């Protein structure tokens, strides 16, 4: 009796499960902490290890790409079909710092299986989610009888995502001709829960600035001069107070210009998720929700732009009183951006808005950090539908859609390569990214393997149909 493709994939995965987990454990033992200079050699060793393992998997091209920071790994496996779409998989091989004294129950770089969970730094973020692509492509080949993937498959595995990706965009721009793709798969995300598998369709962008106000050349006596010269601390307070209106909408002119509004269908999909607002508030350590009127909590954190005060200060901060007019004051602001917003435009309008509200006699400086663009893939995009179908086959249930409120380097890939970004992750919130006792659920890890085994054939077939 012949096996169905699904049963063939599952049989192959089960047959190779032990060796796959042994290899992953070996990689997890390398403390590739990009933020700590003493681990620079370990990050390089991690890159070399992965390149060798990808070559062993079957990728004919495996290279370690140097950057001014930590190295990245590039691999490529062309399809036998010259008309097949090209897919680039993104992930990272560096990890967050970790030490036993941080609260770990065991050595963070000595993987331990407890029950059906693999504990180690990087198990979920992101080595486990990178590594499931190795067994997934082999299962794809075994089940279909192919000698090469159904798509032109490329991997770009970064080495300093946990350090803010300072050189990533420059690397993508420099290597653009090697990275050209029709779609990008990011495997550095999570699902809603074990019982509710989901696909993320987009992430917000980020623009950050610090505004410093200078008044008198030094702190001066509030009795001798108060009420007669401008106070930088008061000016900062007024600036912050003017940032939102009574409906929690950002008041900066042009801030909402061109944004992609939620459709009724997208709002409906958000409501289908089992969101427990009271539990969410407990996680947030807050007693009440707040935000832009007319939108739900999920809409506010996933699909609406925001302006937040991250820090504010000025004047005397010590015990007791010191009756002065301070010489300076400052505020740090961050703006989460949604599809349709341009960070360059945001910087321009913020500068103009602040300049109009700062009184005479106060000088100001505004410094913007490097920005991250938002990314969003339409629900009807054929590549997104392929990801959802492949995941649905693996999990044997309907896949729902989410977004993420944070930001990441995925937007650089979208921006430079002009390709849609899809998110394929199997981690769950309880995995404890960046925390002690980080883990990955082994059943979900193997569902990631299975998803990719189905994905490449589905994507190739439906890409041709759509084009």
Q: What mean pLDDT do residues 103-107 have?
A: 97
47-61, 97-111, 369-383: the lowest-pLDDT one: 369-383
Which residues, in sequence order, are bridge partners of residue 86? Answer: 152
Confidence of residue 3 (pLDDT cuts 50, 70, 90): very low
205-259+305-368: what CATH class? alpha beta
- Helices vs strands, H then E, count in the chain: 14, 18
User: For the chain, which residues make up each domain, given as ranges?
Assistant: 5-203+375-466, 205-259+305-368
User: Does the pLDDT value for residue 260 go beyond 50?
Assistant: yes
143-147, 369-373, 453-457: the lowest-pLDDT one: 369-373
Please report, rounded to a whole number, the percentage of residues in the chain having pLDDT higher than 90.
93
pLDDT tens-digit map of 11-26: 999 999 999 999 999 9
Residues 439, 189: Cα–Cα separation, whole Å: 14
Provide the pLDDT for residue 60.
98
Sequence length of the chain is 467
Provide the pLDDT for residue 1.
32
Question: 61: which 2 tokens?
Answer: 């091209």
User: Does the pLDDT value for residue 129 go beyond 80?
Assistant: yes
Q: What mean pLDDT do residues 360-384 have?
A: 93
Confidence of residue 234 (pLDDT cuts 50, 70, 90): very high
As a CATH number, domain 5-203+375-466 is 3.40.630.10
Residues 158, 89: Cα–Cα separation, whole Å: 11
User: Does the pLDDT value for residue 308 go beyond 90?
Assistant: yes
**400-404 and 198-203 as β-strands: parallel, antiparallel, unpaired?**
parallel
Q: In this structure, are residues 340 and 260 in contact, taking their beta carbons and an 8 Å threshold?
A: yes
Q: In this structure, are residues 194 and 444 in contact, taking their beta carbons and an 8 Å threshold?
A: yes
Contact partners, residue 231, CB within 8 Å, separation at least 6: 215, 325, 326
pTM here is 0.90
């Amino acid at each position: 009796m012949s096996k169905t493709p699904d049963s063939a994939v599952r049989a192959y995965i089960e047959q190779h499960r032990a060796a796959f987990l042994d290899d992953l454990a070996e990689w997890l033992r390398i403390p590739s902490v990009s933020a700590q200079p003493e681990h620079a050699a370990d990050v390089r060793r991690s890159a070399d290890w992965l390149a060798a393992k990808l070559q062993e998997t079957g990728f004919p091209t495996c290279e370690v790409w140097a950057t001014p920071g930590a190295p990245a790994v590039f691999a490529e496996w062309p399809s036998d079909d010259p008309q097949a779409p090209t897919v680039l998989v993104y992930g990272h091989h560096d990890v967050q710092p970790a030490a036993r004294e941080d609260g770990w129950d065991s050595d963070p770089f000595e993987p331990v299986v407890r029950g059906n969970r693999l504990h180690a730094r990087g198990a979920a973020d992101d080595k486990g989610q990178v590594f499931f692509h190795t067994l997934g492509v082999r299962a794809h080949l075994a089940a279909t009888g192919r000698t090469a993937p159904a798509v032109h498959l490329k991997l770009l595995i970064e080495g300093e995502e946990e350090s803010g990706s300072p050189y990533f965009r420059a690397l993508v721009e420099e290597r653009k001709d090697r990275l050209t793709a029709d779609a990008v798969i990011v495997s550095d995300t999570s699902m809603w829960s074990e019982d509710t598998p989901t696909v993320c369709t987009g992430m917000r962008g980020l623009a950050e600035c610090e505004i410093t106000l200078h008044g008198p050349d030094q702190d001066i006596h509030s009795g001798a001069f108060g009420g007669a010269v401008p106070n930088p601390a008061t000016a900062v307070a007024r600036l912050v107070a003017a940032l939102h209106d009574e409906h929690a909408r950002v008041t900066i002119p042009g801030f909402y210009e061109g944004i992609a509004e939620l459709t009724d269908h997208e709002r409906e999909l958000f409501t289908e998720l089992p969101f427990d607002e009271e539990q969410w508030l407990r996680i947030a350590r807050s007693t009440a929700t707040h935000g832009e009127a007319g939108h739900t909590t999920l809409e506010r954190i996933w699909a609406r732009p925001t302006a937040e005060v991250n820090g504010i200060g000025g004047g005397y901060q010590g015990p007791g009183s010191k009756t002065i007019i301070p010489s300076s004051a400052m505020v740090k602001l961050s703006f989460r951006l949604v599809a349709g917003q341009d960070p360059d435009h945001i910087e321009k309008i913020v500068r103009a808005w602040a300049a109009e509200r700062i009184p005479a006699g106060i000088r100001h400086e505004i410094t913007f950090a490097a920005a991250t663009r938002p990314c969003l893939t339409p629900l009807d995009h054929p590549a997104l539908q392929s990801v959802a179908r492949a995941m649905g086959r693996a999990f044997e249930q309907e896949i729902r859609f989410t977004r993420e409120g944070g930001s990441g380097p995925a937007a650089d890939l979208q921006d430079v390569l002009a390709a849609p970004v899809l998110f394929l992750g199997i981690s769950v919130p309880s995995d404890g990214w960046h925390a002690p006792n980080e883990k990955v659920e082994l059943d979900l890890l193997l569902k990631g393997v299975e998803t990719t085994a189905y994905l490449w054939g589905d994507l190739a077939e439906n890409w041709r149909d759509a084009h």
